[in-house]
């Protein structure tokens, strides 16, 4: 995208899958990244440790991922995509009172013919259950080493995030070897950019105006 827009560098900001993409660019191509805003901190998957069990209360939060590992889960997503995804929204952001129109704007994307295949492959690949794309095997090998993020970074957690580990992601600090500040945002669940857009935008602006940011 940076190449298509003829942008040599930019502040990258994202959440969930988009946040993972931003973390990957920041780690592997830091010369293209002026700064990073990432929800749930270091989002680069570590497939080699994916089968290490988490605390039981966190395993409960990941039930949908395990559901998608089997063909029952694929069939469930295929048949009930709108209902299932709305349930996940409510579980992930328990204090967000989104209305039907807000959900419908996103739910239209679930009708994409590739939606189910992409979702199922993602949740199986991250656990090492299916192979990745050979075309990006070189990049996967670099990511398996859990490369540090050296660019200035602001990481955010929603205080009410229903999918984030109970302890939050402040323990990811060691992955950020450049200037880094972590913020816990009250009144936000997993979809922080929609729930608290001012906090998300402020993080971006702070990286553009580093004199306003209390970076170590």
* pLDDT reported for residue 63: 98
Enter the DSSP assignment of 204: H
* pLDDT reported for residue 105: 97
Query: Up-side HSE of residue 110: CA atoms within 13 Å toward CB?
Result: 16
- Which tokens sit at 37? 């805003």
- Which tokens sit at 77? 């997503």
H helices present in the chain, as ranges: 17-28, 56-61, 63-67, 71-92, 100-107, 115-125, 137-144, 192-195, 197-208
Is 157 in contact with 185 (CB distance < 8 Å)?
Answer: yes
Is 57 in contact with 50 (CB distance < 8 Å)?
Answer: no
CA distance 59 to 117: 24
Enter the DSSP assignment of 171: G
Is 194 in contact with 158 (CB distance < 8 Å)?
Answer: no
Domain 10-44+146-212 has CATH 3.40.50.1820: yes
CA distance 153 to 183: 11
Q: What is the pLDDT along the chain (216 residues), one digit of tens a residue?
A: 999 999 999 999 999 999 999 999 999 999 999 999 999 999 999 999 999 999 999 999 999 999 999 999 999 999 999 999 999 999 999 999 999 999 999 999 999 999 999 999 999 999 999 999 999 999 999 999 999 999 999 999 999 999 988 878 888 999 999 999 999 999 999 999 999 999 999 999 999 987 766 665
Which among 21, 35, 47, 45 is positioned nearest to 176, based on CA atoms? 35
* pLDDT reported for residue 41: 93
Is 163 in contact with 65 (CB distance < 8 Å)?
Answer: no
R_g of the chain computed on alpha carbons: 18
- Which tokens sit at 8? 């040599």
pTM for the model? 0.94
The domain spans of the chain are: 10-44+146-212, 53-125
């Amino acid at each position: 995208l940076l190449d298509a827009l003829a942008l040599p560098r930019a502040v990258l900001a994202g959440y969930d899958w988009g946040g993972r993409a931003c973390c990957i660019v920041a780690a592997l191509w830091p010369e293209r990244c002026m700064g990073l805003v990432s929800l749930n901190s270091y989002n680069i998957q570590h497939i080699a440790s994916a089968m290490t069990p988490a605390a039981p209360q966190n395993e409960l939060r990941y039930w949908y991922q395990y559901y998608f590992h089997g063909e029952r889960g694929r069939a469930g997503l295929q048949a009930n995509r709108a209902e299932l995804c709305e349930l996940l929204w409510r579980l992930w952001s328990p204090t967000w009172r989104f209305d039907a129109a807000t959900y419908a704007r996103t739910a239209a994307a679930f009708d994409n013919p590739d939606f189910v295949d992409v979702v199922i492959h993602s949740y199986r690949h991250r656990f090492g259950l299916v192979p990745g794309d050979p075309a990006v095997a070189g990049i996967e090998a670099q990511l398996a080493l859990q490369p540090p993020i050296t660019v200035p970074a602001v990481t955010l957690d929603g205080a009410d995030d229903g999918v984030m580990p109970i302890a939050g992601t402040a323990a990811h600090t060691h992955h950020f070897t450049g200037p880094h500040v972590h913020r816990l945002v009250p009144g936000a669940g997993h979809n922080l950019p929609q729930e608290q857009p001012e906090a998300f935008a402020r993080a971006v602006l702070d990286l553009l105006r580093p004199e306003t940011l209390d970076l170590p």
